[in-house]
Amino acid sequence: MINQKYLFTFLALAVLVVLGLSQSPKTQEKMRHVAYEVSTPALSFFSKIKGFFTRVDSGLQTLQEAQTEAIKLREENARLQTEINLLHDLSKENDRLREMLGFKADSLFKLLPCRVISRDPSSWWNSVQINRGWYDDKNLEKDMPVVSPRGVIGKTSVVNDRYTEVLLIVDENCKIAASIQGSNAQGIVVGDSNYQEGRPRARMKFIDRAANIAVGELVYTSGLGGVFPQGLLIGTVAEVPKLKDTTAAGLYQEAIIDPAVDLRQLDELFIIIGAK
């Protein structure tokens, strides 16, 4: 609201203008001088008001420009982040493919590459389907090892013309003759149904109770049994449960095994068809 002082000033100026029109030139000159003296504070006030609004307008323009620039920067940041994520994914894919190719080249076995095409949620930790069948390789049959560069996945179960079911090592029906590095203790690795949700495990049974087993030791295929060749990594000893039977009748002990391969994320695998 305009100050009453300045409102009065303008009313006085208006009266002076009306009166001055009927006065002599000399009187008009005096009245102009008086009007100037009276109007100067008001003019200064309105000049300040104008300057204030000019600064406000300039500030709003600057704020709008800053907001526009911020939007552009956010969009550019999002674009760059997308490119970084893409490059990261490509790098991981490149590393994975290099690992697969190196594994195949260095392997002592004839490997048939395959890809997981289906996985039933109701039997997530039991089996997967791969995109290979006897049509792809006439030598493909039941009970052939399925592996990745990281270790054992399982073995072929049902072989069809275009696809094959693979039984995972954490399934109770998958049995692998194994040995523990260090102690060289022998046993049979089977799937363990009593695992924590989201963390499937296997159990190594029939280990000599006198064997000194340590958590962290690696477990490999022993080559016994005729299905899995010797030296394939199965996993790591995660636990060594206390013996329940301390009498002479308790001849064996067991070990809980963490699989070497992350069975939650299975993509490209290999079937061992035979020796090179």
Rounded distance between C-alpha atoms, residue 116 and residue 260, angstroms: 18
Rounded distance between C-alpha atoms, residue 254 and residue 14, angstroms: 109
Helix axes 4-20, 25-106, angle to 10 degrees: 140
* Confidence at residue 79, expressed as pLDDT on a 0 to 100 scale: 87
* Confidence at residue 93, expressed as pLDDT on a 0 to 100 scale: 75
* Confidence at residue 246, expressed as pLDDT on a 0 to 100 scale: 54
* Confidence at residue 10, expressed as pLDDT on a 0 to 100 scale: 56
Residues counted in the chain: 276
Rounded distance between C-alpha atoms, residue 96 and residue 92, angstroms: 6
Assigned architecture for domain 109-276: Beta Barrel (2.40)
178 CB-near residues (< 8 Å, 6+ apart): 186, 187, 188, 189, 204, 219, 220, 221, 222, 234
Ranges in the chain, pLDDT < 50: 1-2, 248
pTM of the model: 0.68
159 CB-near residues (< 8 Å, 6+ apart): 133, 134, 140, 141, 142, 165
The residue written with tokens 């970084």 in the block is 84
* Confidence at residue 207, expressed as pLDDT on a 0 to 100 scale: 96
| CA-closest candidate to residue 253, choices 261, 265, 245 | 245
* Confidence at residue 33, expressed as pLDDT on a 0 to 100 scale: 62
